[in-house]
Amino acid sequence: MERIQRVRVWSAGLRLAHWLIALPVLVLLATGWLIGVAPSLAAAASDVHGVAGFALTLGLALRLYLLLAGSGAAHWRALVPAPGDLGKAGMMLRFYLSLGRTPLPRWYSHNPLWVPLYALILLILVAQSATGLLMEHRPLLAGFYLPAVHAFLAPVILAFSALHIVAVVLHDARGTSSDVSAMINGHRIFVIEKPQTPAQAGIQSIPIERIGKR
C-alpha cells in the first residue's frame, strides 16, 4: 500500500531567488520587445526594463551566493548530473514527446533532463544582465559589440522560459509531485513505495531512504 509524503525540497532563499529571476525575466522579455517595435511606448518600456533588470541582478546575486553557501538543492553540487541521471533524462524526454503519456522517472529536487541546462541558463542570464548594464556606456568590450550580444541572447532566454513553463505545467497535469505549488510553498509530494508492483510502475515515487537527499 502506498503512502504520500510531503517533503520540503526548496528552501525559502532558493524560492526567493527563483522568483526574483523568473518574474523580471518575463518583464524584461516583454519590455525589450516593446522597445524595439513600439516607439511610442519605448521610453516607458525602457524605464520598466531598467527596474526589472535591477531585480534580476538581485535574484542572480542571491542565486550565485546560494550556489556556494547554500545547502541541498540550492548548492552547486545539486546541478551536477548524478551517475543514474542519463537514463532518467531519456525517460523525461520520452515523457515530453508523448505529452505526458509515458511515466515520469523518480527524482528528488532538480529535473534530471534540465540539470545541465540550469547552470547554462544562469551563465546566460549573468551575461545578459552584464551586457544590459554596460552596453549604454561601453558598447564595445573586448571586441564584442554588447548590444548585439544582448539581442542575440534574448531569444535563447525566451525559448528556455517558454519550454520551462510548458514542462512544469505538464508535470503538474500528468504527475503527482505538485511542481507548480512546490516553488511557492517549498514542498513536493512523493509517493513512498513499499515494494513496487508492475501496476505501480507509472506512478512517480521515491524510496523512503532517499527522502531528504540531493
Q: What angle do CA 172, 20, 37 make, to 5 degrees?
A: 95
Q: From CA 6, how far away is CA 50, in angstroms rounded?
A: 39
Q: Which three cell numbers stand for residue 181?
A: 505549488
Measure the CA dihedral 50/55/57/60, to 10°.
-150
In CATH terms, the superfamily for domain 3-210 is Transmembrane di-heme cytochromes, Chain C (1.20.950.20)
Domain ranges of the chain: 3-210
Place of cell 542519463: 86
155 by DSSP, 3-state: which?
helix
DSSP, residue by residue, 167-186 = HHHHHHHH-SS-HHHHHHHS
Name the residue among 13, 45, 51, 50 with its Cα closest to residue 31.
45
Residues of the chain below pLDDT 50: 200-201, 203, 208
Query: What is the value of pTM for the model shown?
Result: 0.81
Q: Quote the pLDDT of residue 178.
A: 74
**pLDDT digit string, tens, across residues 33-73:** 999 888 888 899 999 999 999 999 999 999 999 999 998 88
Q: From CA 31, how far away is CA 47, in angstroms rounded?
A: 9
